[in-house]
Amino acid sequence: MGNPAEFERIVNDFYQDLYRFAYSLAKNQADATDLTQQTFYRFATKGDTIRDKSKTKSWLFRTLKNDFLSQARRSQKFQHIPLEDAGPELPDEQSEDPSRSVDSHLVVEALQKVDETYRIALSLFYMKGLSYKEIAHTLEIPIGTVMSRLSRGKAQLKSALSAVA
């Protein structure tokens, strides 16, 4: 959005209604605030593409709704499990070759030290058994990015495991 005064006017005109809509969808204040701010960020970066300025309000509401639905789909695909509770999600140590088994608590502790970006990819690959293509679809990133995140994540995990062990 090229004109700061115009952007400020639009924020002032639509913030309350947009926030209320976000709250009705998200059912909590923090998520509603995030959705509203994300919508205005998108407007700031892409608002110039709106040809008919009289449709700005509908563009904002549609964008917020689409972001909410996208987040809901992602959260269903990647169920949030606190890392401390992930122990049962790890493979059973007894079913593996004893010489290759690692205490799951050590793995969880080491995994907490991996950057979140890489940790998510590692969790989807090793704990959920998703393929590169499925991870790319879930995280909405290219397969090449998945491969590099897994590679970097493995390196960080290996380093963290040697520090923990």
CATH of the domain at 69: 1.10.1740.10
- Residue 46 and residue 17 in contact, taking contact as beta carbons nearer than 8 Å: no
The overall average pLDDT reported for the chain is 81
Task: Please check whether residues 112 and 57 belong to one and the same domain.
Answer: no
The answer, yes or no, to whether residue 1 has pLDDT greater than 70, is no
Integer distance in angstroms from the first to the last C-alpha of the chain?
52
108 is in which domain, residue-wise?
83-164
Q: Which of 77, 93, 109 is the last residue of a domain?
A: 77
pLDDT band at 137 (very low <50, low <70, confident <90, very high): confident
Task: Please check whether residues 28 and 73 belong to one and the same domain.
Answer: yes
95 torsion bin: left (phi>0), alpha (psi -120 to 50), beta (else): alpha
Q: What pTM was estimated for this model as a whole?
A: 0.48
Residue 25, C-beta contacts closer than 8 angstroms, at least 6 positions apart: 32, 35, 64, 65, 68
Q: Per-residue pLDDT tens for 11-48? A: 999 999 999 998 888 888 999 999 999 999 999 998 88
In the block, tokens 């493979």 appear at 91
pLDDT band at 99 (very low <50, low <70, confident <90, very high): very low
Task: Please check whether residues 48 and 90 belong to one and the same domain.
Answer: no
85 DSSP 8-state letter: G
Q: How far apart are CA 121 and CA 141, in angstroms?
A: 11
Q: Which of 61, 77, 93 is the last residue of a domain?
A: 77
The answer, yes or no, to whether residue 143 has pLDDT greater than 70, is yes
Q: Looking at 6-10, 37-41, 100-104, 152-156, which range is the least confident one?
A: 100-104
